[in-house]
Amino acid sequence: MTAPAFLGIERSATGRRWDGPEPAVERLAEAIARTDSLPLPVALVLARRGVAPGEGARFLAPSLRDLMPDPLTLRDMGAASDRLAAAAAGGERIAVFADYDVDGGAAAALVLTWLRALGRAATLYIPDRTGEGYGPNVPAMQALGQAHDLILCVDCGTVSHAPIGAAACDVIVADHHLAAETLPPALAVVNPNRHDDASDLGHLCAAGVVFLLLVAANRSLRKRGVSPPDLLPLLDLVALATVADVVPLVGLNRAFVRQGLKVMAPLARPGLAALARAARLDRPPEAWHLGFLFGPRVNAGGRIGAADLGARCLATADPVEAERLALTLERLNAERRRIEAELLDAAMAAVEARGDPGALAWAAGEGWHPGVVGIVAARLKEATGRPAVVIGLDGAEGRGSGRSVEGVDLGRAVHRLAAEGLIAKGGGHRMAAGLTVAADRVAPAMERLAELLAAEGAGGGGPRRLPLDGLVAPGAAHPDLVTALEAAGPYGAGAPAPHHAVAGVLLRHLKPVGDGHLKLTLEDATGMRLEAIAFRSAGTPLGSFLEARRGLRLHAAGRLGLNHWQGRSSVQLTLEDAAPA
């Protein structure tokens, strides 16, 4: 029997059903609150994570030392780390071939920084998104192989059989994307998502895999009598990639982000410091800054500029070069936003014209910029609550990118499309994937993809759902509560942030701010007030609802956080939904 909707909201302003915590979760939360002396809202977060009573302190302060696995549990790690250490110690010529996104750039920067600490340099090669596409290609690998003794492919290479076979030198792959049944002819393929890997580390991003590779390489250096670099200062890059690549923030990943944020706090890395200045960030970064401020700027070069700009900015030790690169990335990011807005309008129109998207929202268009289709796919996913794919067509070929929803493995479905011959190539992981498809096969490929995703539960019937963690009164929404809730983070993929409802409050003030945002003040019956903001809501169903409820009572739902303004901090609700009271 289905539990009653929370506050009786069967269909909210955004068309969602509000769901409260399950009774079993509430009972577990009450036990955790008593045993671990925690506020009930914090205990609810832990209960949803499956934390047992008495384990709260360990969860709230994850130790990297306790959670770090032996890197050698990963297949091929011994061969890869020994070869990398030998090349670094012996002064061999090393090339780093990386993907053009944040994960690839951060993974490359990890290796470059580690080598620099050893007094070594390496060639950085990141393919052009438009001209070369994702991953190693034969001409580039041939050229790099002729000029180097070792090529390290990071965040790519797992399915690059021909390109790796064309390299006339040793090749190591350090990746996390889903593997095919056969592996490329590399010296080593270190990837927790290859079929014969039993490490249970498939949730790592590529930078996490590379960090473990460097841990193992440091061991190998010690055996050679070489003093290895300190790896702890590199955790800022691992944290950035982990959040930006939307991998599950559980287990080791959660520890990587928590410890990485501590390393990042003083912004000692020139590239991150310059990016923070460009983004006008004047305080230590939080987890959401990694995905929404740093990530888009690092990505901007690979999307619409020179592909290696982000990696070079993260890797440089020169503050002057970092400042120059960060300003270039800031300019490119502004241009990216303009292109994205235009493409999003066209993609939304295409989806709406097709009617009910079913299990998959997709759109394709001639001349759509391949560097922006992934971001637009993410926006379509947010708008429809379904996996989304957006494809940019260039004559007879289309290049697309997709984003998935929790519980639906998009990468596996795209691999199936490639195996069935409906697309030329494709790959990815659970939450994101890329593909190349003939223009005349886009429709049948998307129809088949929708079938595969529907089998995993995408696009199920009924309204979308908004899980809530209970009620909070404006008077109880104080900074101490927000700080305690943040201690249970970081939040993201696989670890959703707690959301609360504020019931029966008066919409006292409402005004537009910034680029399509709405700022509002909520007041309860006792006169206590709570400030709120609804981002990008002007002109949306949520925005229209709020406009119509001026001076009236409503239920509001969203995430509590701290708003920092002119040196002061106050509690603010990031409002994501509302309903009549």
> Are 450 and 477 in the same domain?
no
Rounded-to-integer distance, Cα 65 and Cα 73, Å: 16
Question: Positive or negative CA dihedral for 289, 290, 294, 300?
Answer: negative
How many other C-beta atoms can be found within 10 angstroms of the C-beta atom of residue 183?
21
> Are 179 and 302 in the same domain?
yes
> Are 447 and 472 in the same domain?
no
Rounded-to-integer distance, Cα 265 and Cα 398, Å: 41
Q: For position 351, what pLDDT does the model report? A: 93
> Are 390 and 311 in the same domain?
no
- Residue 17 falls within a domain, yes or no? no
347: Cα separation from own chain's centroid:
22
> Are 238 and 176 in the same domain?
yes
Per-residue pLDDT of the chain (581 residues; tens, 9 = 90+): 568 999 999 999 998 999 999 999 999 999 999 999 999 999 999 999 999 999 999 999 998 999 999 999 999 999 999 999 999 999 999 999 999 999 999 999 999 999 999 999 999 999 998 788 889 999 999 999 999 999 999 999 999 999 999 999 999 999 999 898 899 999 999 999 999 999 999 999 999 999 999 999 999 999 999 999 999 999 999 999 999 998 999 999 999 999 999 999 999 999 999 999 999 998 999 999 999 999 999 999 988 878 999 999 999 999 999 999 999 999 999 999 999 999 999 999 999 998 888 899 999 999 999 889 999 999 999 888 899 999 999 999 999 999 998 889 999 999 999 999 999 989 888 888 999 999 999 999 999 999 999 998 887 656 678 999 999 999 999 999 999 999 999 998 888 899 999 999 999 999 999 889 999 999 999 999 999 999 989 988 999 999 999 999 999 999 999 988 777 889 999 999 999 99
Rounded-to-integer distance, Cα 363 and Cα 446, Å: 9
Q: Which two tokens stand for residue 363?
A: 């759109």
Q: What is the CATH number of the domain that holds 423?
A: 3.10.310.30
> Are 113 and 223 in the same domain?
yes
Pairing of strands 188-190, 529-534: unpaired
What is each CA distance from 1 to 4, 18, 22, 45, in whole angstroms?
Answer: 9, 16, 12, 24
256: nearest Cα among 215, 292, 300, 317: 215
- Residue 153 falls within a domain, yes or no? yes
> Are 160 and 277 in the same domain?
yes
314: nearest Cα among 129, 113, 100, 120: 113
> Are 302 and 362 in the same domain?
no
360: Cα separation from own chain's centroid:
20
* Amino acid (1-letter code) at residue 179: A
- With beta carbons less than 8 A apart as the criterion, state whether 468 and 6 touch: yes
- Residue 503 falls within a domain, yes or no? yes
- With beta carbons less than 8 A apart as the criterion, state whether 415 and 423 touch: no
- Residue 189 falls within a domain, yes or no? yes
| Chosen domain end from 425, 454, 483 | 454
Please measure the distance between the N-terminal and C-terminal CA atoms of the chain and give it in whole angstroms. Answer: 25
- The 3-state secondary structure of 104-127, one letter per residue: HHHHHHHHHHHHHHCCCCCEEECC
Q: For position 461, what pLDDT does the model report? A: 58
- With beta carbons less than 8 A apart as the criterion, state whether 171 and 157 touch: yes
Q: What is the CATH number of the domain that holds 501?
A: 2.40.50.140
| Chosen domain end from 396, 425, 454 | 454
H/E element holding 501? strand 500-513
- Residue 34 falls within a domain, yes or no? no
Question: Positive or negative CA dihedral for 62, 66, 71, 74?
Answer: negative
Domain total of the chain: 3
Q: Which two tokens stand for residue 168?
A: 């006339």
Question: Positive or negative CA dihedral for 459, 460, 466, 468?
Answer: negative
- With beta carbons less than 8 A apart as the criterion, state whether 175 and 201 touch: no
Residue with tokens 């287990």: 251
- Residue 426 falls within a domain, yes or no? yes
> How many residues are listed for the chain in this entry?
581
- DSSP per position, 297-326: HHHHHHHHS-TTHHHHHHH---HHHHHHHH
- Residue 412 falls within a domain, yes or no? yes
- DSSP per position, 341-379: HHHHHHHHHHHHHH---TT-EEEEEET--TTTHHHHHHH
State the residue range of the domain holding 541.
Answer: 468-580
Rounded-to-integer distance, Cα 298 and Cα 242, Å: 14
**What percentage of the chain's residues is helix, strand, coil (to nearest 5)?**
45, 20, 35
> Are 474 and 417 in the same domain?
no
- Residue 7 falls within a domain, yes or no? no
Rounded-to-integer distance, Cα 261 and Cα 563, Å: 19
* Amino acid (1-letter code) at residue 522: L
Helix (H, G, I), strand (E, B) or coil at 285: coil
Rounded-to-integer distance, Cα 493 and Cα 29, Å: 22
Q: Which two tokens stand for residue 304?
A: 């619409």
| Chosen domain end from 421, 454, 487 | 454
Pairing of strands 188-190, 170-174: parallel
Rounded-to-integer distance, Cα 362 and Cα 377, Å: 8
> Are 168 and 268 in the same domain?
yes
Maximum separation of any 2 CA atoms in the chain, in Å: 75
Q: Which two tokens stand for residue 94?
A: 């090393």
187: nearest Cα among 263, 78, 107, 343: 78
> Are 203 and 76 in the same domain?
yes
372: nearest Cα among 400, 411, 412: 400
Residue with tokens 């990042």: 264
Rounded-to-integer distance, Cα 242 and Cα 294, Å: 12
- With beta carbons less than 8 A apart as the criterion, state whether 329 and 309 touch: yes
> Are 106 and 134 in the same domain?
yes
Q: What is the CATH number of the domain that holds 302?
A: 3.90.1640.30
Rounded-to-integer distance, Cα 481 and Cα 509, Å: 24
- With beta carbons less than 8 A apart as the criterion, state whether 137 and 163 touch: yes
- DSSP per position, 441-496: GHHHHHHHHHHHHHTTTTT-SS-EEEE---B--GGG--HHHHHHHHHT---BTTBP
